[in-house]
Structure 1
Amino acid sequence: MWITLAFSLVFLSWKKNFAFLLLIVVLISALFEGFITLYAIGILLVFFCIGIIHKYYNYKSILSILIEFLLFMGAIALFFHLITGFNNPKILDKVLTGSQSSLYSMYFNLDKSIVPFVLILALPTLFYTKPIKHQTWWKWLILSLSIPILLGIAVLLGGLKLEFALPSWIWQFILANLFFVSLAEETLFRGYIQKRLNDFIGSIPALLITAVLFGLIHYHGGYLLIVFATLAGLIYGIAWMWSGRIWISTFFHFGLNLIHLLFFTYPAYQPHFQ
């Protein structure tokens, strides 16, 4: 089921109808396995019907704007697990990647994974937009190098420590983090929020505001994580601006998370763990 969900997200950017067909298969499987209730499926059906209505209206009409806002709020509700009826399975429960790392738990979040499907109903160009400007290879190299540099800064500030790890559950991590975390977050923050802000206030203000919002959703980790996530959000936002492709910013996002897991204390440094 989870592999099928990942494939549906892959196809969503270029074979939308097939992707939604795969999602239906996933939801039926999830219903039988107890990961979703009929109530939650009913809510998703309402989103889909609203999206169909949105498709047949002028995108600049008042009704179209209202419908898009409703879909956006639906995506927010899914993102923050506010819709009841989803029973996301806990895959990892308080595991350690190393002796200096803090405890880590991981879920396969079905509700959060559906965010891209709802947002593409609101904004058909979710995955693709016109790049701000085509950049040279060396600028892309600098942007790529900013990821380990940012992690190094986190080490200097005491939030992380160097610690190599290759956990047995790394493939589960890759599946969840690439598709159910990074892609969901990038479609919401870069594909939708930054894109819409860019349309109204320009690229640089949109980049900065979106990065700050992205940092603020990490408030549970304290001020240091907020700052770290805000800086990471700038990297992802620039990758999106330069490429016009959500998958590019998603790979930057996932790349940072994977490097963090493999070479640093994950998810954080825990100096006094007993």
Structure 2
Amino acid sequence: MTYFLSLLPAIWPWFILIAAQTGAVSGRRGLGLTLLAMLGCIALALGLVTPLAVGIACFGLLGAAGLRHLSGPAALAGHLALILWCLALGAHLVPGFHNLLVLDQVQAGPDSAAFTMYLNLDKPLVLFAVLLAWPGMIQGAKPTKAAPLSVGLLMLPALFLLGLATGAVRPEIGLPTWWLVFALSNLFLTCLTEEAFFRGYLQSIITSKTGATIGIAAASLLFGLAHAGGGPALVVFASVLGAACGLGYYATGRLWVPVLIHFGFNALHLILFTYPGPV
């Protein structure tokens, strides 16, 4: 907690971002976009973003909002352009975003590998864009299908067992001093953004064209491939996690379910095992 409090003078704009995200996924799109615009002005004034970054962000968001009015080849081209825009933001390829370094080569425990973490301003914009392009992702709540949800949840301990068997993780119980800033960043800036894109957007679109089985499988594989920078093993692990999240979304129609499955897995990984992996 002390470390988190020491960061507050620098990280307070991200609380506006989190409030904007929460409003948007709760169905209060106007509130979410208003808070996002407020954040943009503050970030510009503080030098966290440049006018070029703001321009690229506005262009993408406006384009996403217009996709609902397109059909046929124009809609296909628009969605492909949106996906590329989202991937560029997620990979931090768009110039002008000065993401804040909050963890620099830290270790979760003595046997864990060192890693670095930023509070991002670019990647979370993906959430707002896909919500504008595919608002039905938060309007599809339905009676829970117990069987697929149970299978999805059971895949999480199975994934940890696979990680132990392959040496990808080792047991290491503990809670680092920086856990709170990690939790906020991971829940909102990572899990919520990624689940909105891969499950709420991609899985929903593919499912609407091909059915749930292909939709879940395709979105899970794409989620795994998005982690290809970590090597083939990480692609497999991420694909399995993606399938668990996909089943959770399919079973309930509620976006927060795969978000919490994703975050719960990451939190247990941090608390019970070497994170992100052994030294």
Regarding TM over 0.5, the answer is yes
| CA pair 265-78 structure 1, distance change in 2 beyond 3 A | same
Q: Are residues 1:266 and 2:279 paired? A: no
Q: Residue 39 of structure 1 aligns to which amino acid in structure 2? A: L
TM superposition shift of 1:32: 2.0
Give the distance between the partners of 2:64 and 2:223, measured in 1 at CA: 26
Residue-by-residue CA offset, 1:28-74 (whole Å, 9 max, x unaligned): 1211222210111011222233345445x3x5355444434433332
Give the distance between the partners of 1:216 and 1:139, measured in 2 at CA: 23
2:175 to 163, 166, 173: 166
1:17 to 18, 25, 30: 30
Larger deviation: 31-40 or 142-151? Answer: 142-151
Residue-by-residue CA offset, 1:167-224 (whole Å, 9 max, x unaligned): 1111101110000000111111111111111111111112112111111111222222
**8 Å contact from structure 1 (residues 162, 265) kept in 2:** yes
Residue-by-residue CA offset, 1:211-240 (whole Å, 9 max, x unaligned): 111111112222221111111111011001
Give the distance between the partners of 1:142 and 1:191, measured in 2 at CA: 19
| CA pair 200-140 structure 1, distance change in 2 beyond 3 A | closer
Give the distance between the partners of 2:214 and 2:62, measured in 1 at CA: 34
Q: Residue 230 of structure 1 aligns to which amino acid in structure 2? A: S
Q: How do residues 106-255 of structure 1 correspond to structure 2 at under 5 angstroms?
A: 106-129=117-140, 134-136=144-146, 140-141=149-150, 143-255=152-264
| CA pair 192-53 structure 1, distance change in 2 beyond 3 A | closer
Give the distance between the partners of 2:30 and 2:36, measured in 1 at CA: 10
Give the distance between the partners of 1:38 and 1:64, measured in 2 at CA: 29
**8 Å contact from structure 1 (residues 120, 126) kept in 2:** yes
| CA pair 53-221 structure 1, distance change in 2 beyond 3 A | closer
**8 Å contact from structure 1 (residues 115, 184) kept in 2:** yes
Q: How do residues 42-57 of structure 1 correspond to structure 2 at under 5 angstroms?
A: 42-54=55-67, 57=69
Give the distance between the partners of 2:224 and 2:235, measured in 1 at CA: 5
Larger deviation: 72-81 or 110-119? Answer: 72-81
Give the distance between the partners of 1:221 and 1:167, measured in 2 at CA: 23
1:103 to 114, 120, 126: 114
Give the distance between the partners of 2:66 and 2:215, measured in 1 at CA: 29
**8 Å contact from structure 1 (residues 72, 118) kept in 2:** no
Partner of residue 7, structure 2: none
1:70 to 61, 66, 81: 81
**8 Å contact from structure 1 (residues 8, 19) kept in 2:** yes
**8 Å contact from structure 2 (residues 66, 133) kept in 1:** no
What secondary structure does 1:110 align onto?
coil
Give the distance between the partners of 1:66 and 1:90, measured in 2 at CA: 36
What secondary structure does 2:135 align onto?
coil
Residue-by-residue CA offset, 1:102-144 (whole Å, 9 max, x unaligned): 011111111001101111121121333365x7323x7645533
**CA RMSD in angstroms, aligned pairs only:** 1.9
Q: Residue 176 of structure 1 aligns to which amino acid in structure 2? A: S
| CA pair 130-175 structure 1, distance change in 2 beyond 3 A | closer
TM-score normalised according to structure 2 size: 0.89
